[in-house]
Amino acid sequence: MNALRRSSKAAFAVGIALAIACLAMPSVCVAGEAQGTPPDFSQVGGKVHNVKAMVKPILKIGQLQFKDLNGNGTLDIYEDWRKPIPERVADLLSRMTMVEKAGLMQITSYGSLANATDYINNRKIRYLILRDNLSPDANANRNNQMQAIAEGTRLGIPVVFTANPRDHISDSLVYAQIDATGQWPGTLGLAASFDLKLIHDFAEIARQQWITQGIRKMYGYQVDVASEPRWNRNQTTFGEGPDLSAAITRELVLGFQGQNLGPESVAMTTKHFPGDGAVWNGLDPHNAIGQYAAYPTAGSLFQYQLAPFQAAVDAGTSAVMSYYCSQINERDAIQLPYDWWQSNTQQFEEVGAAYNKTILTTLLRDYMGFKGYVNTDSGVLSNTGWGVSNLTLPQKFAKAVKAGVSIFSDNNNPQGLIDAVNQQLLDETDLNPSVEHLLTEMFKLGLFENPYTDPDLALTVASDPASIARMNEANRQAIVLLRNDEKLLPLANGKKVYAEVFTRSAATSATQTTALKALLATDPMITVVDTVDQADVVLVWLRPSVYQPGLPYPSMNDIALDDNTVGTGTVAKVQSYETQKPTILVINAVNPWIINNVEPNAAAVIATFDVKAEALLDVVRGRFNPSGKLPMTMPADQDAVNNNAPDVPGYLEPFDYAYKNQVNDKYLFGFGLSYPKQ
């Protein structure tokens, strides 16, 4: 792993050396009236400032321009971009009412124009989450519309649009993927590349696209160590390797934010602290049955779970999102220093992390050196407020603020926080540190000077040919060759191929099978046939999804390839194909599936991680020599899964955990084959 760390530093040096293209901006507007001239760039101290207003007046001092954000005709400190940001923050904070501070500490889903206008004007909310899939220019236009509304308010505090990662292919959807629109491989696919330069390039490309669309804060990335194989959110992690995940996290933060947060940055919210992957039986902390983290192995929190978050902190992540989980002290091994314990017998306070001062302040801020702010996950004030159901809403707000929270996710009503102050559960000054963090982020992002974007530029940046080429390369690098002992691959010219895709849904399987056959038919050197009997080779692509029986009260998640995860009758059908014809078995390995029912009789085995079908065909046909490595260990069988420690990566389990194929290769973290060089 020392080589990995050296590679990370080298990739960062290359990334910083890359030129960052300046973003063209629309014309400067004064008091809402377009001037029709190029923007006036005011330059002081080597910094270039592009000042744009749509509603409020522009103040001119000599050749310099400033926005009169409060419309009083005077240049106030917070309006003066020449002033240090701490001075601007202090000045604006002194002008804000308690209600305005409470509103700033909420972040909610956008919803509709009418709702968002109400949030901005009446509830004083400025952080909005986008959960839809508009085109780049539509996103930019919406940003401009909402920024103009915010500019017209009393103090002119801008909006910060936020989104989950949205640049990746999403197959079986999990929470972090519902917004996905892009064609980059899934996060596990990026990890499978083991290419830190590629990951930094991805972040740089996506950053430019986000900025031109007006999206300036990310709920991501999800850097939890995937130590429990049954967890359904392994799909949106970077795998089970703490060091690899840490190196990737560093590149993502630096690629999206830069060395310092600034006008060319997307602010990152690294999640879910201190590591959501350690859960009992893979159960989901969104549900009451899965609300507890699992630390049965002494020292695992510091040894395995925290590494990516420390990398994010060291790289300067703007924010951290806390996980939902609470703890059960009786079943956790020792994780915390004794002087952090709640009492001689209680290690953890048994409340969700959003309410846990030891986790958010003692561990994250004091021990790990975090300088940003904490963003809760959605719903902790209501349906996912584990361990605090006995508290009133104002009491929940007060406890979370005192624990170290600065902003509450998917809450569109600040009244509970206002009530906490009015009921003297908090003093108004208790809100100030949080508001200072949030305003600092806004000032650093340059939103007070110019929050507006150019819709035409958003379209141009999104369709950049060089970016698309890099994206396609990433898809190919995200594919792992696991077996080829019969030398079936790369697939020779002249072969007759039968192809089929299997998912848990028969309708989806049929649609994807049709699409795969159509893609194969574009290759003039092979023939697509309609039945297995007609074929020389069978290509099967399994696209399973985690099965959660009996929600909301399952006992565990199912990751065996069976009727529940990959469709009724699929396993029997694949086994039949394998006995009839040489079969290329492709598995979309977004979880470390139990594969012993389908793997042994395949002629070749490939793992994909939410990739484009074109990339798979490039590997199968030998147009690209596979180079990917497994980001997670594939378990030997159900017993291995049942006996795994949920807080320990699979490749570090003390027993023979990994699947071993018929040529004695173990499918361990970091394993992957390539074709022999010709």
Residue 252 above 50 pLDDT?
yes
pLDDT confidence bin for 176, thresholds 50/70/90: very low
Backbone angles phi, psi at 326, to 5 degrees: -110, -170
pLDDT of residue 59: 97
Residue 53 above 70 pLDDT?
yes
**Among the ranges given (37-41, 452-456, 463-467), the one the predictor scored with the smallest mean pLDDT:** 37-41
> In sequence order, what DSSP letters do the residues of 95-108 get, joined into one string?
H--HHHHHHHTEEE
Between 678 and 424, the higher pLDDT residue = 424
Residue 46 above 60 pLDDT?
no
Residue 274: both structure tokens together: 């201190």
For 546, the 3-state DSSP assignment is coil
**pLDDT tens digit string along 484-531?**
999 999 999 999 999 999 999 999 999 999 999 999 999 999 999 999
pTM: 0.92
Residue 32 above 60 pLDDT?
no
Average pLDDT over residues 546-573: 91
**pLDDT tens digit string along 279-297?**
999 999 999 999 999 999 9
Residue 634: both structure tokens together: 């594939």
How many CB atoms sit inside 10 A of residue 569's CB? 11
How many CB atoms sit inside 10 A of residue 444's CB? 18
pLDDT of residue 50: 87
To the nearest 10°, report the CA torsion of 338, 344, 348, 350: -170
pLDDT of residue 549: 85
Residue 599: both structure tokens together: 């793997």
pLDDT of residue 91: 98
Residue 75 above 70 pLDDT?
yes
Percent of the chain residues topping a pLDDT of 70? 91
pLDDT confidence bin for 172, thresholds 50/70/90: low
Average pLDDT over residues 653-674: 98
pLDDT confidence bin for 591, thresholds 50/70/90: very high
Distance (Å, whole) CA 500 – CA 581: 14
* DSSP label of 367: I
Average pLDDT over residues 588-615: 97
Residue 365: both structure tokens together: 């801020």
Average pLDDT, the chain: 91
Q: How many residues can be counted in the chain?
A: 678
* Contact predicate 430/400, CB 8 Å: no
Residue 37 above 70 pLDDT?
no
Average pLDDT over residues 569-577: 98
Give the burial class of 99: count Cβ atoms within 10 A of its Cβ; 0-12 exposed, 13-18 middle, 19 or more buried. Answer: middle
Name the strands in the sheet holding 480-483, side by side, starting at the edge strand that comes first in the sequence.
Answer: 480-483, 604-608, 583-588, 537-542, 496-502, 527-528
pLDDT confidence bin for 599, thresholds 50/70/90: very high
Look at residues 514, 481, 515, 485 and name the one whose alpha carbon lies nearest to residue 608. Answer: 481
pLDDT of residue 49: 67
Residue 416: both structure tokens together: 């509970």
pLDDT confidence bin for 179, thresholds 50/70/90: low
For 361, the 3-state DSSP assignment is helix
Angle, helices 307-315 vs 242-257, to 10°: value is: 20
Residue 13 above 70 pLDDT?
no
Residue 627 above 90 pLDDT?
yes
Between 170 and 643, the higher pLDDT residue = 643
Spatial neighbors of 487 by CB under 8 A, at least 6 apart, are none
pLDDT confidence bin for 31, thresholds 50/70/90: very low
Strands 480-483 vs 604-608: parallel, antiparallel or unpaired: antiparallel
Return the amino acid letter for 361. T
Residue 677 above 90 pLDDT?
no
3-state secondary structure 133-182: CCCHHHHHHHHHHHHHHHHCCCCCCCCEEEECCCCECCCCCCHHHCCCCC
Residue 431: both structure tokens together: 């809100």
pLDDT confidence bin for 329, thresholds 50/70/90: very high
Give the burial class of 524: count Cβ atoms within 10 A of its Cβ; 0-12 exposed, 13-18 middle, 19 or more buried. Answer: exposed
From residue 675, alpha-carbon distances to 109, 194, 241, 497, 586 in Å are 47, 18, 25, 21, 16
How many CB atoms sit inside 10 A of residue 240's CB? 27
Question: What is the maximum alpha-carbon separation in the chain?
Answer: 83
**pLDDT tens digit string along 344-397?**
999 999 999 999 999 999 999 999 999 999 999 999 999 999 999 999 999 999
* CA 282 to chain centroid: 19
Average pLDDT over residues 285-311: 96
How many CB atoms sit inside 10 A of residue 149's CB? 17
**pLDDT tens digit string along 229-239?**
999 999 999 99
For 467, the 3-state DSSP assignment is helix
Residue 451 above 90 pLDDT?
yes
Distance (Å, whole) CA 543 – CA 607: 10
How many CB atoms sit inside 10 A of residue 148's CB? 18
pLDDT of residue 181: 64
- Radius of gyration of the chain from its Cα atoms, rounded to whole angstroms: 26
Distance (Å, whole) CA 548 – CA 543: 16
pLDDT of residue 19: 26
Strand partners, 594: 560
Look at residues 201, 264, 261 and name the one whose alpha carbon lies nearest to residue 12. Answer: 201
Residue 29 above 60 pLDDT?
no
For 248, the 3-state DSSP assignment is helix
* Contact predicate 234/245, CB 8 Å: no
Average pLDDT over residues 181-206: 96
How many CB atoms sit inside 10 A of residue 665's CB? 16
Residue 639 above 60 pLDDT?
yes
pLDDT confidence bin for 548, thresholds 50/70/90: confident
Residue 567 above 60 pLDDT?
yes
pLDDT confidence bin for 483, thresholds 50/70/90: very high
Q: What domains does the chain contain, in order, with CATH numbers?
A: 5-79 (no CATH), 85-461 (3.20.20.300), 479-652 (3.40.50.1700)
Strand partners, 30: 33
Give the burial class of 3: count Cβ atoms within 10 A of its Cβ; 0-12 exposed, 13-18 middle, 19 or more buried. Answer: exposed
pLDDT of residue 36: 31
**pLDDT tens digit string along 95-118?**
999 999 999 999 999 989 999 999
Strands 405-409 vs 373-375: parallel, antiparallel or unpaired: parallel
